[in-house]
Amino acid sequence: MSDIGAAKERKRELNLGGQTIRILPEELKAGGIIPQRQKGMVTVRFAAPGGRVEAKHMAKIAELADKYGRGYLHFTFRQSPEIPFVRLEDVEALVAEAGEVGASIAGCGKRVRVPTACAGCEYNPNGLVNTQDMARESYERYFGMDHSHKFKLSFSGCPVDCARARENDLGFQGQVEPYLNPDNCTGCSLCVQACQDDALYMDPSIEGPRTKRGMPVRIEEQCISCGDCIKACAFDAMLPQRTGNAVYSGGKHGKHPHVAYPIAEFVPEEKVYDVIEAVMAWYRENGKKGERIGVTIDRIGINSLRRALKDVIGEYLLQQEDIEKPRWRKVFFHGVADALPEYEQV
């Protein structure tokens, strides 16, 4: 009999802070309890949406690792702290004690996982959007919902993409479109130096009240909307025009990595949840059991998902002429963009 089977014989149900969980591997995983190779041992995973954990939760988790584990924590690749080597019979007490301070366990298996995120614009100098708010809000709304397979959400604050928006089932990535206020530009060309994407050049013939050296010109199709020019500008001349989120879907890593399809750009934060719900509804309708959404998109076609999003974010959807621009081609590894199918006009 397996360890889990043996445990099941001993006790059929665990009361985990109000949730009753029967001890079956998939259901243990639903509750963030991962069977170990050692008999009767499990790893207990805690939720840390966006990688943020309240200090009082962390202090309690650390205390519990001493009490029930082996005195250390492990951080998963999706930012969750977990306590290895917990005896199955101690899980109930551990989870209850964690629940007393409000720390809750994560889930794994075929459902919406705890969203990951970078620090975002709250305090990271590069952050363009509030990834922490979006990770927390989407955790509150969608965490644990069942799907055909796992469903991973991530939020990156800028095109550096630390949260790997292109490697998640649904990923969001902050972006900003710059514009030049010609009245403030001194023609110093610091912005041209700051741009790593050949999206700015100096035109010495452009005149303005503060410049005798011309002004920068932006090549829209090269610009990846990172905002480095805005940050470099010392004279409040290069400024943010609009800020939003690029949307990617269908990415995953694992044994068979899959790069996400680019879906939309400059989606405002208030529309992000509509996007998540529409993509999940499409996946629920079209996904086969055990199939990640990237594979579903491959099988049914990206245009089916794009059509499903038309009413939600029609004006922000990328069209064929967009994904042919260097700005979208170069954010993928060499040649990957060549494999994108034809995007129908929707």
Partner 1 sequence: MSEAGEGLKPAKSLDLRGTPCPINFVKTKLALDGLAEGELLEIIIDEGEPCKNVPRSVKDEGHKILEAEDIGGAFRLLIVKVA
Q: Which residues bind partner 1 (CB under 8 A)?
A: 125, 186, 188-190, 193-194, 196, 210, 212-213, 228, 231-235
How far is 102 from 91, CA to CA, in rounded Å? 16
How far is 54 from 131, CA to CA, in rounded Å? 17
Q: Residues 53, 58, 61, CA angle at the centre, nearest 5°?
A: 130
Closer Cβ to partner 1, 134 or 237, answer by number: 237
Which residues 6+ apart lie within 8 Å of 218 measured at CB? 178, 180, 199, 200, 229
Q: How far is the CB of 121 from partner 1 (least distance, A)?
A: 14
Closer Cβ to partner 1, 186 or 303, answer by number: 186
How far is 292 from 72, CA to CA, in rounded Å? 33
* Tokens standing for residue 27: 């259901």
Q: How far is the CB of 149 from partner 1 (least distance, A)?
A: 41
Count of positions (residues) in the chain: 346
Of 132, 217, 223, which is closest to residue 176 (Cα–Cα)?
Answer: 223
Closer Cβ to partner 1, 76 or 211, answer by number: 211
Q: How far is the CB of 3 from partner 1 (least distance, A)?
A: 51
Q: How far is the CB of 70 from partner 1 (least distance, A)?
A: 39
Q: How far is the CB of 124 from partner 1 (least distance, A)?
A: 12
Q: How far is CA 79 from CA 28, 153, 162, in A?
A: 20, 12, 12
**Whose structure tokens read 């403030």?**
184
CB of 152 closer than 8 Å to CB of 146: no
Q: How far is the CB of 204 from partner 1 (least distance, A)?
A: 11
Closer Cβ to partner 1, 193 or 241, answer by number: 193
Closer Cβ to partner 1, 93 or 194, answer by number: 194
Q: How far is the CB of 185 from partner 1 (least distance, A)?
A: 11
Closer Cβ to partner 1, 23 or 237, answer by number: 237
Q: Which alpha helices (H) appear in the chain, and where do they start and end?
A: 3-10, 25-30, 55-68, 91-101, 131-142, 190-194, 228-232, 269-286, 293-300, 302-313, 320-323, 326-329
3-state DSSP of 93-108 = HHHHHHHHHCCCECCC
Closer Cβ to partner 1, 73 or 194, answer by number: 194
